Amino acid sequence: MNEMTTLATLVTVHIIALMSPGPDFALVVQNAGRYGRQTGMMIALGLSLGILLHAILSLTGASLLIHQHPMLFALLQAVGGSYLLWLGIGALKGTWQHYQQRHQPAEQQTAKQEAQRVLANRKQALAKGFTTNILNPKALVFFISLLSTLVPASMSLGGKATAICLLWGTSFLWFALLAWLLTGARLQQKLQRWTPWIDATCGALFTLIGSLILLSIIAQ
């Protein structure tokens, strides 16, 4: 298999994985729908930077070393699972608060909505996207498996650099496209009405994945 074929296969598998529903996908849907296009784009950039770091660590062998040390990998799983669980509980709590606010005076509702908007700044959106991806232990295992299987040790330095750039570029383009599509004028109006349901669904997904990761540590 020549380098061009290897890179094409790598990108194809990666794109399929990106389109699969998971924490990254849910994070873009939840935040772009609530806070708008700019926040969605920053989340997309943060997620893609996390993938970029995963790719670099996997190709340099650092991720494999982490995976081969049970205690270190268990620690990463615990941190990642706890973070996803925290995101999930926060989203579910936000859904509950939304229903409570429906019975509050309009002035109080507006004040709380403005407080939420303040939290949706660029740096926080970027950090949230990056943290969600880089702390996901399933992402670490995926990239170790993907790159160790498809990228031979004999691949040139230029080929490996190209692979890293392609993984980052396709990741950013996919999540940015998703954020852009979700923040069209008509769809944005609908999403604002569906926000509680989106938060509840994403919260349930984060909570489930985080809980399963933590339970897998206990079961080991």
Domain that holds residue 54: 33-193
Question: Which residue intervals of the chain are DSSP H helices?
Answer: 3-19, 23-35, 37-60, 62-68, 70-101, 106-119, 122-134, 137-150, 157-182, 185-219
183 within some domain: yes
- Grouped pLDDT means (10 residues each) for the chain, 220 residues: 86 91 89 85 96 92 81 88 89 73 52 47 90 91 87 86 94 95 75 74 88 87
pLDDT of residue 115: 44
- Residue 217 in domain: no
Its sign, for the CA torsion 146, 148, 154, 157, is: positive
Q: For residue 26, tell me if it sits in a domain.
A: no
Residue 69 inside a domain? The answer is: yes
What angle, 0 to 180 degrees and rounded to 10, lies between the N-to-C axes of helices 37-60 and 23-35? 160
Q: Looking at residue 211, what is its pLDDT?
A: 93
E strand or H helix at 21: none
Number of structural domains in the chain? 1
Question: What pLDDT was estimated at residue 111?
Answer: 45
Question: What's the token pair of residue 113?
Answer: 């909505």
pTM of the model: 0.82
* Residue 162 in domain: yes
**19 found inside a domain:** no
Inside any domain, residue 74 = yes
Contacts of 28 (CB under 8 A, 6+ apart): 40, 43, 44, 47, 175, 178, 179, 182
Residue 96 counted as domain residue: yes
